A = this chain, B = another copy of it.
Amino acid sequence: MTPLELRHQVRSGQFRQPTSGYCGAYAQANLVILPQAQADDFLRFCQRNPRACPLLAVGEPGQWNLAALGADMDLRSDVPGYNVYRAGQLSAQPLTLHEIWRDDLVVFAIGCSFSFEQMLMDAGIALRHVEQCKNVAMYRSNIPNIAAGPFGGNMVVSMRPMKARDAIRAIQITSRFPAVHGAPVHLGDPALIGIADLDQPDYGDAVAVAADELPVFWACGVTPQEALRGAALPLVITHQPGYMLVTDIPNASLAAF
């Protein structure tokens, strides 16, 4: 199935499930949709925090078809699950956005760790949460985001345990992909970035870190979600966690060098 075929299945209502494992060679994206009144602040927030909020594309107000992300795309219908927040609270999970679309809504597509995880696995680096069919473990760190307007808070990080040799290789590989979170932000002692207990992730599922492994931490796309929640805006639309936008962008094309 090509990304376009998958999006067509989503659009027709045939595909309603998490997108992990589909179209693995192509970038999946976190979706954020905001009224223009808040969009400029959010764009500056992303620009200032590129590890957590690497932008693949930003639309014009009202634009729901971003050619930079793929052909024949309708962002009002091509994501298999939407969350609509009003005043910071989840208010609806519509199947499409057609009824609530407005001419002032601005689309942000933010790179996703699925892309670099694919590159790591292609390089022979095993990912424990994938092996164990779990969601990756995510933690609130004490690394402050650089604020913009109402958006601030701390960085949320994802953790993958690795032997030192694989951690070094993973740093090399992910450094090539700044558009999908790039290099790790920390490795080793979790307490140094404010994580008290690796067994108690704030999101996702815990995995064991063996005695001969290091926990390796990447900036996580949940960071902007938390920043948006903290801002308690009148209206925010996102994808549902795990139900990503599947783009036509080959992961390999995102390599910076």
Residues of A within 8 A of B (CB): 164-165, 167-168, 171-172, 175, 183-189, 192, 212, 214, 257
Closest to A191 in B: B212
A164, A172, A212, A257: which has the most chain B beta carbons within 10 Å?
A164
- Complex partner residue of A184 from B168, B188, B192, B214, CB under 8 angstroms: B168
Q: Chain B contacts of A212 at CB under 8 A?
A: 189, 192
Given contacts A167-B187, A172-B183, 14 further A-B contacts (CB under 8 A): A164-B189, A164-B192, A165-B185, A165-B186, A168-B171, A168-B183, A168-B187, A171-B172, A172-B172, A175-B175, A187-B187, A187-B214, A189-B212, A192-B212
In the complex, chain B residues whose CB is within 8 Å of the CB of A192: 164, 212
Chain B residues contacting A189 (CB-CB under 8 Å) are 164, 212
* Other-chain residue from B164, B167, B175, B188 in contact with A172 (beta carbon distance below 8 A): B175
A188–B171 contact, CB under 8 A? no
Please name all residues of chain B whose beta carbon is closer than 8 Å to the beta carbon of A214 when the two chains form the complex: 187-188
Q: Give the contacting residue for A187; candidates B164, B172, B185, B186; CB below 8 A.
A: B164
Q: Name the residue on B nearest A184 (C-beta).
A: B168
Query: Which residues of the partner chain B approach A187 to less than 8 Å between Cβ atoms?
Result: 164, 167-168, 187-188, 214
Determine the distance from Cα of A167 to Cα of B257 in the docked complex, in whole angstroms.
20
- A172 surroundings in chain B (CB, below 8 A): 171-172, 175, 183
CB-based contact A188/B186 at 8 Å: no
A165 shortest CB reach to chain B, Å: 7
A103 to B: closest C-beta gap in Å: 43
Contact residues in B for A185 (Cβ distance below 8 Å)? 165, 168
* Distance, CA A101 to CA B179, complexed state (A): 56
CA distance A141 to B189 in the complex (A): 23
A183 to B214, CA, bound (A): 17
A168, B185: Cα distance in complex, Å: 8
Cα of A257 to Cα of B185 in the assembled complex, Å: 22
Question: What are 11 A-B contacts defined by CB distance under 8 Å?
Answer: A164-B186, A164-B187, A164-B189, A168-B171, A168-B184, A168-B185, A168-B186, A171-B171, A172-B172, A175-B175, A189-B212
The smallest beta-carbon distance between A197 and chain B, in angstroms, is 18
A165 surroundings in chain B (CB, below 8 A): 185-186
A184: chain B residues within 8 A (beta carbon): 168
List the B side residues contacting A164 at CB < 8 Å.
186-189, 192
